[in-house]
Amino acid sequence: MIHEWSRGEYTISTDRARLDLNLVHQFLAGSYWAEGIPASVVRRSIEHSLVFGLYRGAQQLGFARVITDYATFAYLADVFVVEGARGAGLGTWLIEVIIKHPELQGLRRWMLATRDAHGLYRKVGFSELSRPERFMERHFPDIYTRGGAAEIKEG
């Protein structure tokens, strides 16, 4: 089910068809967390996530996605607002909309990773891991730049 929220001239929508895939890919490929990510991987990640596009009219200004089982866990990823639209509270609004999404209520755990937006996420209830010693990861930070993420053939 597609959901939409409006605030003044801005809209947040979960409609995948509205996404500007070129904008999303371009931003993510230049980001510190997904540098060099192939377009096919971005498309696949969108297909398998609950996505949120931020718009002024038809122009996309931001994006985020949630990887979730809709029952117990959600991972917030790939959050961004384009440079020219920052400073108007749109990032905070985007995160508030996401955590209030009707299909994401009652989850036991939400997680995310950030290098520099801790203040934004604290505003909506995120905090550092209370028991970091319980968490483990497999991390391949240069997978996109060393050719480890195979391009999916369209067909």
- Give the number of other CB atoms < 10 A from CB of residue 140: 10
Residue 26's SS3 state is: helix
Residues 80-126 have pLDDT tens digits of 999 999 999 999 999 999 999 999 999 999 999 999 999 999 999 99
Give the contacts of 24 (CB within 8 A, at least 6 positions apart).
42, 46, 60, 63, 78
pTM of this prediction exceeds 0.85? yes
Copy the structure tokens of residue 150.
């195979």
CATH superfamily of 4-134: Gcn5-related N-acetyltransferase (GNAT) (3.40.630.30)
The domain spans of the chain are 4-134
